[in-house]
Amino acid sequence: MKKGLCLLVSFLVSFQLFAQIEPKYVKEACGPYLQNVTDTSFTVIWTTDMDAVSWVEVAPADGTNFYNVERPKYYDLRGLGRKPITKIHKVTVSGLKPDTKYRYRIMMKGVISQDNRKGITYTAGYGLDLKSHPTEMKTLAHNYDKLHFSTVNDMHECDSALCKLFADAKGKYDFVVFNGDMTSSNDSISNPVVNYLASASRLFASDTPLYIARGNHEYRGNAAIGWYDYLDTPTGKTYYTFKYGKFFFIVLDSGEDKCDSDVRNLDIMITEPYVKEEAEWLKKVVASDDFRNSETRIVFSHIQPDKKSWHGNAMVADYFVPILNKAGIDIMLCGHIHQFRYYKPGTTNAKFPVVCNNMRERMDTDMDADKIILTMFSPDGKQTHRLEFRTKQY
């Protein structure tokens, strides 16, 4: 009896030890989603359920099986000569042809343990299955006659509404913009994943470029300073530009909505110096050849300009609008106030139209060289507003 019990205990202990050291597969927790797409490159971001090293394999969309030949591999270069071991992965693929379709797959190996220079223990390698999760993207062309894109803002963690708004978005838009306050606070590092990025990847962002503007609520929470880890922009900042041919876009960071010294800002905000720095950058943008040679110019800013409103509105009006008034902006698209509002030119200190999209509504934009049409939809698919503007008026 005792001998049998000892054997059972020995077996259970051995099984437990085996279970503890048995490598598991690493899996993606969120993503992939596309950032910073250009005519010759794109960045893929995703997260994993454990620390891992990662890479991206790329093939042309030429009809050949992905496994036909060994495909080129692109690595996460943020380790400055070392492969980063992390849960947030960011890989840039470069050297591509303009206006060309490519297939890509994300690959990873989980890291179970590492012992300085002695060795690293990996899980078995894992990658997205190409049949169940096809990931195809297209680099930007040099010229576009028209664009169709969509914008949402002030979702405030309502992932169910986001899923309704973009239920049929796969392959529908040239790009999508999240124009701030997608969450109420970045309380943990997983907030962006749980509240909108995982759904965005599943619905459209694995093959449609996603641009993200920071709202005032993205400044808040213990993990707010790590929010940019989920982005990739041309400037390496939360403000940046992108273009599609002669359609030029500016994405502003409009800062917090209250004075930095306000008691609710917990003595941790320095957004006004950041906005001042951004304004100096904006002066260089509007003086650049890319901007000056563009034909249509749209600005995204979560907070709208209004010198008589809250401090955040006044900062946008004081620091950004005087620069933009001299630059020939066609329209500024905002959110923040949780309702639709159209500010005609001159209503604020802006000489161009400013439109605030309602919270948890989708604003589809159709534009060509002559006009910009904005159409707003509620989560149940009903059209709520429609505006049309002529370009080159301001």
Fold for the domain defined by 146-390 = Purple Acid Phosphatase; chain A, domain 2 (3.60.21)
C-alpha to C-alpha distance for 155 and 176, rounded to whole angstroms: 14
C-alpha to C-alpha distance for 271 and 220, rounded to whole angstroms: 12
The predicted pLDDT at position 161 comes to: 96
Burial of 180 (0-12, 13-18, 19+ CB in 10 A): buried
Helix (H) or strand (E) holding 315: helix 311-315
The predicted pLDDT at position 106 comes to: 96
* Cα–Cα distance list, 82 to 75, 79, 189 (Å): 10, 5, 23
The predicted pLDDT at position 25 comes to: 84
| DSSP assigned state of 26 | -
The predicted pLDDT at position 132 comes to: 72
What does 284-296 look like in DSSP terms, one character per residue? HHHHSHHHHT-SE
The predicted pLDDT at position 11 comes to: 45
The two beta strands, 42-60 and 86-93, are: antiparallel
Block residue for tokens 């890509």 = 104
Number of Cβ within 10 Å of residue 275's Cβ equals 22
> CA quadruple 246, 214, 195, 37: dihedral positive or negative?
positive
State the CATH architecture for 28-138: Sandwich (2.60)
**SS3 label, residue 59:** strand
Dihedral angle over CA of 47, 49, 54, 59, nearest 10: -70
C-alpha to C-alpha distance for 349 and 335, rounded to whole angstroms: 18
Going from N- to C-terminal start, the domains of the chain cover: 28-138, 146-390
pLDDT along the chain (394 residues), means of 10: 48 45 77 97 96 96 94 96 95 98 96 91 88 87 98 95 97 98 87 84 96 97 93 97 98 97 95 98 98 98 97 98 98 98 96 98 98 98 98 93
The predicted pLDDT at position 14 comes to: 45
Q: What tens digit of pLDDT does each residue of 124-180 get?
A: 988 888 877 779 999 999 999 999 999 999 999 999 999 999 999 999 999 999 999
Whole-model pTM: value is 0.92
Q: Which amino acid is at 242?
A: F
Q: What tens digit of pLDDT does each residue of 291-335 get?
A: 999 999 999 999 999 999 999 999 999 999 999 999 999 999 999
